Structure 1
Amino acid sequence: MADETDEERKARKERERDELYALDISDVEWHCAPGTEEHEERVEIAYLPAGAVAMRSSLDPDTVLRYTEAEWRAFVLGARDGEFDLEPDARDGGVPAQADAP
């Protein structure tokens, strides 16, 4: 795939997305973070064939996003590396993290 042109890569990604969204996921098992209650707002994920993952909000279970294995892996690795860490915002009541004292 390293020899793919941009056009070929785009066509392949569109095919993968179309195949992923064509899957019937009505019987998948949804998982959420341990310790969350049924009534709490939470993110839920389901494992799909070929390493793909579906994600939804417990508040809107009919809206489901689907990710290929490569997309999910990139997200998880980015999250582990802090790529998606939110900066505290004083307007939202956030308090900047304190650096550990030596």
Structure 2
Amino acid sequence: MEVETKGFRVDLNRAQWFKSTRSGPNCDNCVEVAFVDEAIAVRDSKNPAGPALIFTAAEWDAFVGGAKDGEFDL
């Protein structure tokens, strides 16, 4: 599946998806991440054929930085 967004085309057929090493085998609320072309794709691990969110490298870096800084802690 190819996705065109944010000014570039992402080929998800070539994506190699990764799930967090902190995800256990019985965890049912996980996401998978793939670094493809110029983008980062995120999908629900329970629905691999479903939609994927596409982020630019700058958007992904901002998210990871915010997570590390505790911006999303409840």
Same fold (TM over 0.5): yes
Alpha-carbon separation, structure 2, partners of 1:71 and 1:27: 21
Q: Does the 8 A contact of 2:14 with 2:36 survive in 1?
A: no
Where structure 2 has 5 or more consecutive residues not aligned to the other structure, the ranges are none
CA drift at 1:40:
3.5
Match of 1:17 in 2: 6
Query: Over alpha carbons, which structure has the higher Rg?
Result: 1
CA RMSD in angstroms comes to 2.0
Q: Which structure would you say has the larger RCO, counting Cα contacts within 8 Å and 6 or more residues apart?
A: 2
The structure richer in helix per residue is 1
Where structure 1 has 5 or more consecutive residues not aligned to the other structure, the ranges are 1-15, 87-102
SS at match of 2:13: coil
Match of 2:58 in 1: 70
Q: How many residues align?
A: 68
**Any runs of at least 4 consecutive aligned residues in structure 1 with deviations exceeding 6 A, and if so which?**
none
Q: Percent identity?
A: 39
The structure richer in strand per residue is 2
Q: Does the 8 A contact of 2:33 with 2:42 survive in 1?
A: yes
Instruction: Provide TM-score, normalisation by structure 1.
Output: 0.58
Match of 1:44 in 2: 32
